[in-house]
Amino acid sequence: MRTAVLGAALLVVGAVAVAVGVLTPADLLALVERVAPILGFVVALTIVAELAAEAGLFSWLASFAARAARGRVVVLWLAVVLLAVLCTVFLSLDTTAVLLTPVVVLVARRVGLSPMPFALTTVWLANSGSLLLPVSNLTNLLALHELGSPSPLAFAALVAPAALVGIVVPVAAVGLRYRRQLSGTFAPPEHEPAGDRVLFAVAAASVGLLVPALVSGIEVWIPASIAAVVLLVVTAFRKRDVLRFGLVPWGTIVFALGLFVVVEAAHSLGLATLLGAAVGSGESLPDLLRLAAGSAAAANVANNLPAYLALEPVAGSPLRLVAVLIGVNIGCLVTPWASLATLLWHARLSSMGVSVPWGRFMLAGLGLVVVSVPGAVLATVLLS
């Protein structure tokens, strides 16, 4: 609700900017044409993820991982790592934060383990692991426009070195911090069949077919919308009571749209010039480190989405744009508000009675950012 209210306020500011001529109708139309497919994809993918969760797909995957671990905690944790990476890369960071977090917490509790190593793994990989594909993060989808709309595989090739660092560093950090808790054993849970086998099969098939479609080169909103419609129709017949207005993240959509309009208006007033002086120019290693550090700082002061929108015009080249993405994706691990995914993750944990000590969380996040952001930039320079 707070997100929706803030988004509405931003839209009012944007409307004023249009009314006084700061933002022309032509600029507004061009902005809508750019962001409409992106927001449509977010809506469709959220519906797919929510209905797949209602069908029991994510719970089944987590339980399968627990049984496959054969009682070894470290194997179970590594399975969670793999699941978090795959979910983030192919179904977006918000899917991991919203749907995978409660699943891994429940599995940890069912086998008598502390949920914190699994919860931290989920939120850190949801954010810093969201660099590899356009669908992994809304900032990546926005970057496609500046990069000339490359194929998903071409985008992945450009960011792969940085993406690898963004995955390895948090995994290593959790492994070292919780090495004692992750070295024990547990009793594997019993197999629980799906409540509705037909709905489960349709959800598994929809997600299974959607994943390769998202990297096929087709505009991502098309396969996501098809999968969403299929699941909506089948769910309407099999489990109608789960269909609700709240399936669509209206607050997030309004908030994102408001940010787009306000930042576009700010650019018309010279925001790019101001930021360009702060983050510099050039493609040397020091230049890219300065840009990535500035992007990370902006993300943690405000939020990674407006930080990207503000800094996009001062990138100027694919390599510098990757540095911006490194800063806003991998670098948004310090403050809770730096990423909507972190706020959604915290809301899920709070609803399950898991407390998060924000002081320790921010300190640990700062340590990760200090290592991973420069490491990702260095990997990009050396391996691109």
pLDDT at 216: 76
Q: Is residue 250 part of a domain?
A: yes
Residue 367: pLDDT band (50, 70, 90) is: very high
Residue 328 is part of which domain span? 26-383
Q: Residues 239-269: pLDDT tens digits? A: 888 888 877 777 777 777 777 787 777 767 7
Q: Is residue 249 part of a domain?
A: yes
Both tokens of 208, joined, read 């299974």
**Domain assignment present for 223:** yes
Q: Which whole number is the average pLDDT over 135-142?
A: 89
**Residue 201: what pLDDT?**
92
Domain assignment present for residue 367? The answer is: yes
- Whether residue 5 is contained in a domain is answered as no
**Cβ 84 vs Cβ 96: under 8 Å:** yes
> Does the residue 4 lie in any domain?
no
pLDDT tens, 31-74?
778 778 878 887 888 888 888 888 888 778 777 877 888 888 99
To the nearest whole number, what is the mean pLDDT of the chain?
85
Number of domains in the chain: 1
Residue 311 in domain: yes
Amino acid at 297: A
Q: What is the pLDDT of residues 9-37, one digit of tens each?
A: 777 877 787 777 777 788 778 877 877 88
| Angle CA 250–326–369, to nearest 5 | 100
* Rounded-to-integer distance, Cα 317 and Cα 287, Å: 13
Cα separation, 248 vs 4, whole angstroms: 12
* DSSP state at residue 194: -
Contact 249, 42 (CB under 8 A): yes
In a domain, 361, yes or no: yes
The per-residue pLDDT for range 314-323, each reduced to its tens digit, is 888 999 999 9
Mean pLDDT to the nearest integer, 261-284: 74
* Average pLDDT value for residue range 93-102: 83
Q: How confident is the model at residue 344 (pLDDT cuts 50, 70, 90)?
A: confident
**Distances from the Cα of 67 to the Cαs of 75, 96, 100, 188, 202, in angstroms?**
10, 21, 17, 5, 23
Instruction: Provide the pLDDT for residue 218.
Output: 81
| pTM, entire model | 0.82
DSSP per-residue codes, 323-377: HHHIIIIIT--SSGGG-HHHHHHHHHHHHTT----HHHHHHHHHHHHHHHHHHHH
